[in-house]
Amino acid sequence: MLPRRRVFNALGSIALLISGAAAIPAQTNTSSPAPPLVVEGLGRGTVALGGPWQFHLGDDLAWANPAFDDSGWEQLSANKPWGMQGHANTEGVAWYRLRVTLDPGQGAPKTLSILLPAVEDAYELYWNGRLAGTYAKMPPHPDYYFDQRPRIFDLGQAKSGTLALRVWKAPFISFNSGRQGGFYAPPLVGSPQAAQAALGALNYDWLRSQLFTFGLNALYLLVGLLSLIAWLRDRGQQLLLWMACFTLSQPVLLIQENTRLPFYAFFAISLSTPFYVLSDISLWCLLLWLLNLRDDRKLVRIVYIVAAVDMVDAILDSFANYSLSLLKNPVPGQIADGILTFVLTAVELIPFYLIGLALVRRKQLGAARWVVALFALLTQLIVTGSYAFLQGSRFTHWTLGEKIAGPLFSIAGSSITAGNIAEVLLLISLVFAVYQYSVENGQRQAALQQEFHNARAVQQVLIPEAIPHVPGFALDSIYQPAGEVGGDFFQILATPNGGVLAIIGDVSGKGMPAAMTVSLLVGTVRTLAHFTQSPGAILAAMNQRMLGRSQGGFTTCLVLRADADGKLTVANAGHIAPYLAGHELPLENSLPLGLAAEAPYTESVFQLAPGQQLTLLTDGIVEAREKTGALFGFERTAAISSQPASQIVKTAALFGQDDDITVLTLTRERVELPTANPFPVPSFAL
């Protein structure tokens, strides 16, 4: 992982409450001034101002005056921070002063520039009492850059004088060692050209040291973009989405934290925290998928809840850490940091729990997925372990965290850590496992798609191609399938006595099993219609045929016979009743087919008047669902039941079709009797 500003336990924050840095008060100077540093060799390039520098804790702008007597100050080297020179755990404002005498040798520049390497965290540079430059924001409204970088400042014409550096060190947070503050390397003075050349050399060395990190993140970026493109092509592949989130978060963090871009700490921390959490959450979800744990809905719900808590907690923690530099009394921020850090520490154990759960449940996984689990475990151990030991190290003086996070070896000047190696192994294993999963999932999807086409073909064969013409009746039917193959079926058959037999039903389930059940029922109906037109007898025979074949499901069905004189005989097996004049017919209802061997199917008799429309439908109308989740319902269905079949289907589909829709309408036509001619044709006798 990239270096983190977030914290993993409360040790350091709690220790802040019981121990603090003692400020050294200003001293009265009575002794003679310190001798100036003679600077030679300016004509040959830059010269390091290693000191010793006069050093004093506290703040007084009068200390920028070159005439100020600093002889009573202590002396520190500029080669390392003040925290490593007797001022551990010291934060706030301090001053460095150095008198320099320039050797006007041959080739000495006419103007001078000074190159300041990293100085933590904000500073003001004075040359002979004049403000020569600033970096970040000093108190009373301090703000500092997340990543320190060297800067060049113009000192003007070459002359001897006094350099004064006013430095502010931000309050420590839990993983700081306490050995920070002030200079990390001595300033370099020389001509503007020499200073620029030295800056180029420093930047080159820094860039070379980051080559492995940049290369690794370029690989993350490539994998992330490919995963994102693959997910955009197939939104059902959620694993690819989590892979994209996990890999793309790494280069985003690199840009914010390790590119020396001028991001203020508040901005960088506020932006990086969500991406750190996104990286963690994405890894959890990848493990849920690859370890076959996502079928456990309770576990998935718990992981999502913990993820939400982690995101909120990390954002609050970033504000708590940043508030330390804004508050006069940092204790409230440190208390909040301790509490929030404890939660963050517990949350970091989620991958260990998921991997352990997969082991306990003895999931049958391929070798590639277990390799992912192994390297995820290794990465978490290194990252979490190193930062756990860093917490409060300025009080415990433990160095194990630094050793774990430190470099193991270097390649071409680029340091390689154990965390880097674990990250590479995790990324490679993830890429292979996700690729393998995607291939397997693609094969499963292809098999399901083939089954879908086969089921749809079976269902299309069973749907009547043409409605029989029955004198005295106007018949219409609409079948509109949903995305999946459902279990709707219907048949319209003419009876020998000039009537019509209508059968409509719905088999629970989807796909090929439902299609095969429909084929069985349709074949049964068409065979029975040759021997009987009794709705009750037909349902009873269908019920016997379905016994033992429901496979835990059920089938609703309604059989209706309309005679030429408008007499309706209806038997129902748990189906939605037909609608007449906007109301459901009051039928004698019975159990769905295949549930009970002796289920009675009572016939109900009604009369269909000329001009009246009877509407039969499946539950795809009633259960149409809009985006808010609201159902179309029985009241809306009754209100449109007298409309033509096509209009009923259109209304339900626009509301939000969620299942196959079938609508049959049967209208008894009015018979126009011939009338007498008022003007009879006269007959003529021949």
Q: What is the mean pLDDT of residues 74-102?
A: 93
Closest CA to 331 of 683, 43, 13: 13
> φ, ψ for residue 506 (rounded to 5)?
-150, 125
Task: Report which DSSP code applies to 63.
Answer: G
Tokens of 63: 């200390």
Give CA 157 to chain center in angstroms. 57
User: Helix or strand or coil: residue 661?
Assistant: strand
- What pLDDT, on the 0 to 100 scale, is given for residue 259? 81
- What pLDDT, on the 0 to 100 scale, is given for residue 339? 74
Q: What is the mean pLDDT of residues 474-488?
A: 80
Distance CA(13)–CA(313), nearest Å, equals 16
What percent of the chain clears pLDDT 90, i.e. is strictly above it?
Answer: 39
Distance CA(621)–CA(433), nearest Å, equals 43
Using an 8 Å Cβ cutoff, are 388 and 6 in contact?
no
- For the beta carbon of residue 551, count every other beta carbon within 10 angstroms: 11
Return the residue matching tokens 């040790």: 11
Distance CA(652)–CA(654), nearest Å, equals 5
- What pLDDT, on the 0 to 100 scale, is given for residue 18? 32
Is 333 a residue whose pLDDT tops 70?
no
- What pLDDT, on the 0 to 100 scale, is given for residue 302? 92
Using an 8 Å Cβ cutoff, are 256 and 273 in contact?
no
pLDDT digits (tens, 9 = 90+) for 174-211: 777 888 999 999 999 999 999 999 999 999 998 888 88
Q: Domains in the chain, please, with CATH?
A: 31-205 (2.60.120.260), 211-257+264-446 (1.20.1070), 463-668 (3.60.40.10)
Task: Report which DSSP code applies to 683.
Answer: -
Distance CA(395)–CA(391), nearest Å, equals 9
pLDDT digits (tens, 9 = 90+) for 592-623: 998 888 889 999 999 999 999 999 999 889 98
- What pLDDT, on the 0 to 100 scale, is given for residue 1? 35
- What pLDDT, on the 0 to 100 scale, is given for residue 130? 95
- What pLDDT, on the 0 to 100 scale, is given for residue 77? 94
Half-sphere exposure of 113 (CA within 13 A, CB side): 17
- What pLDDT, on the 0 to 100 scale, is given for residue 10? 35
The lowest-confidence range among 66-70, 254-258, 426-430, 493-497 is 254-258
Using an 8 Å Cβ cutoff, are 645 and 477 in contact?
yes
Half-sphere exposure of 173 (CA within 13 A, CB side): 24
The lowest-confidence range among 117-131, 142-156, 359-373, 646-660 is 359-373
What percent of the chain clears pLDDT 70, i.e. is strictly above it?
Answer: 85
Alpha helices in 547-679 (DSSP H): 619-622, 633-640, 645-656
Is 82 a residue whose pLDDT tops 70?
yes
Say how many residues make up the chain. 686
> φ, ψ for residue 203 (rounded to 5)?
-65, -35
Alpha helices in 463-561 (DSSP H): 511-528, 535-546
Distance CA(635)–CA(632), nearest Å, equals 8
Using an 8 Å Cβ cutoff, are 488 and 618 in contact?
yes
> φ, ψ for residue 191 (rounded to 5)?
-65, 160
- For the beta carbon of residue 487, count every other beta carbon within 10 angstroms: 25
pLDDT digits (tens, 9 = 90+) for 51-62: 899 999 999 999
Q: What is the mean pLDDT of residues 91-104?
A: 90
Give CA 643 to chain center in angstroms. 46
Distance CA(162)–CA(389), nearest Å, equals 42
Q: Kind and range of the H or E element at 17?
A: helix 11-18
The lowest-confidence range among 11-25, 369-383, 404-418, 496-510 is 11-25
Q: Kind and range of the H or E element at 244?
A: helix 238-257
Amino acid at 194: A
Closest CA to 220 of 253, 248, 254: 248
- What pLDDT, on the 0 to 100 scale, is given for residue 165? 97
> How do strand 473-480 and strand 661-668 relate by DSSP bridges?
antiparallel
Is 657 a residue whose pLDDT tops 60?
yes
The lowest-confidence range among 13-27, 124-138, 239-253, 522-536 is 13-27
Residue 448: pLDDT band with limits 50, 70, 90: low
Closest CA to 50 of 110, 90, 102, 96: 96
Using an 8 Å Cβ cutoff, are 523 and 510 in contact?
no
- What pLDDT, on the 0 to 100 scale, is given for residue 17? 32
- What pLDDT, on the 0 to 100 scale, is given for residue 338? 67
Burial of 444 (0-12, 13-18, 19+ CB in 10 A): exposed
Is 326 a residue whose pLDDT tops 80?
no
Which of the two residues, 243 and 327, has the higher pLDDT score?
243
Instruction: Tell me the sheet residues that pair with 161.
Output: 100
> φ, ψ for residue 187 (rounded to 5)?
-65, 160
